[in-house]
Amino acid sequence: MPTVGLPPSGERMSDVLAGMSAILDAAERRTEGHAVRTAWIMGRLAGELGLSDARRTDAVLAGLLVDAGTIGPHAAPPEGDTGRRSGTSRERDTERRPLHLTRTARARAAAATLELPGHIGQALADADERWDGRGPAGTRRERISQDGRMLALASLVAGLGPAPGGSEVERTLRADRARALDPGLVDAVLRIGKGGLWTELADPDLVSTLGTLEAPATVRWIHDGRLDAIAVAFADIVDTRTPRMGRHGRRVAGFAVRTGRELGLDPALLVDLRRAAMLHDVGKLLVPIASLEKPAELTDEERRVVDEHARTSAATLARTRVFARLAPLVMAHHERLDGNGMFPAIPEPSVAMAIRVLALSDRYEAMTAERPYRPLLSPTQVWSILDEVVGEPTARAALRALRRAVVDAP
């Protein structure tokens, strides 16, 4: 598994976000590729409106982040409440406002972490609003940001599936024109549709052509800082779903890097370890909050869903070229440490050690934080439990380094 600090040149931020958006689609129960289709429509719509090259690139990024504020699987909404759809009553929108405000804050935070322009964060915040003012915040007509109005429209069209018929889209949009949607933007999308948009959306390889919508001078190319920002943004998307999670991903990353330094791991491997620690729980976006917050023992089915998150996290990272090499680290972060675990057969000893460091750092952070199913553990209890469950020689060495890193640190 190669470990390099700076990924190969030629990778766009949009490429990475497109790969990562699959987990957001799944968390919101969207059809696969929803965010990519939203981004494509945003880029085409920006071109139709004559917006600048920079605005078109930003529109693509906003589309990819359309569900950055996702809460993921949670309690079923009130009957008849279909979320970001037309026809939601004012009364139900009022009921949704606490959830909407949470989504809005989390989406804005993701955009800010990625150091994107403020109008992208505003678009994400406005995407649930309606032209007629009956959205969650009551903002109406041109008071809703243009990008937000575009995003609401693009997301709705993308939600019709990868191959919407022109007549179906037209019926849907005309029904919502001047109610939920900006009528001028509806007309613009219908013009693009007649120019080939519906055929474009049916392209099974749409993600690979997304970059063609970005003018070269405006592309946000990936570098170490941007890759770190993406890792932090997605860690926070996961961890801010519930108050109890706090900054789990950030804390695990801190413990893992300090432990890796104690072990003398290569600096490039430490970079991978930090990013893997940030992203190790991204699969938890598909775990119901009720399971994460349950104060009692999980049922067998609830446990199965929770246990699947490591595999889901690894599969999500494998969809991106720059994060794919982190998948083995992430896949094994819940493996047993007593010698009976199913750790991947990694020939490089340092990488094998890094896998154990991540697994231990995750356990240590969880055990030193309050959880709904148990009271806060004392440091003595934490180390006693870890001593009991860690038996494999490589894991024992990692545990000794972890203890030095967190107990003996100045």
Residue range 89-141, pLDDT digits in tens:
333 333 344 555 588 888 999 999 999 999 999 999 999 999 999 999 999 99
| Distance from C-alpha of 281 to C-alpha of 311, rounded to nearest angstrom | 10
Least confident of 52-56, 174-178, 357-361: 174-178
Q: Which residue do the tokens 């920079």 mark?
A: 54
- pLDDT at residue 81, as a whole number: 34
Q: All domains of the chain, ordered by start, with CATH? A: 13-218 (1.10.3210.10), 224-407 (1.10.3210.10)
- pLDDT at residue 344, as a whole number: 58
- pLDDT at residue 243, as a whole number: 67
| Amino acid letter for position 114 | L
Average pLDDT value for residue range 220-230: 94
Note the pTM of the prediction, 2 decimals. 0.88
| Distance from C-alpha of 245 to C-alpha of 388, rounded to nearest angstrom | 25
| Amino acid letter for position 147 | D
Residue range 364-377, pLDDT digits in tens:
998 998 777 778 88
| Amino acid letter for position 170 | E
| Distance from C-alpha of 282 to C-alpha of 335, rounded to nearest angstrom | 17
Mean pLDDT across the chain, nearest whole number? 86
Residue range 275-286, pLDDT digits in tens:
999 999 999 999
SS3 (DSSP) at 393: helix
pLDDT band at 168 (very low <50, low <70, confident <90, very high): confident
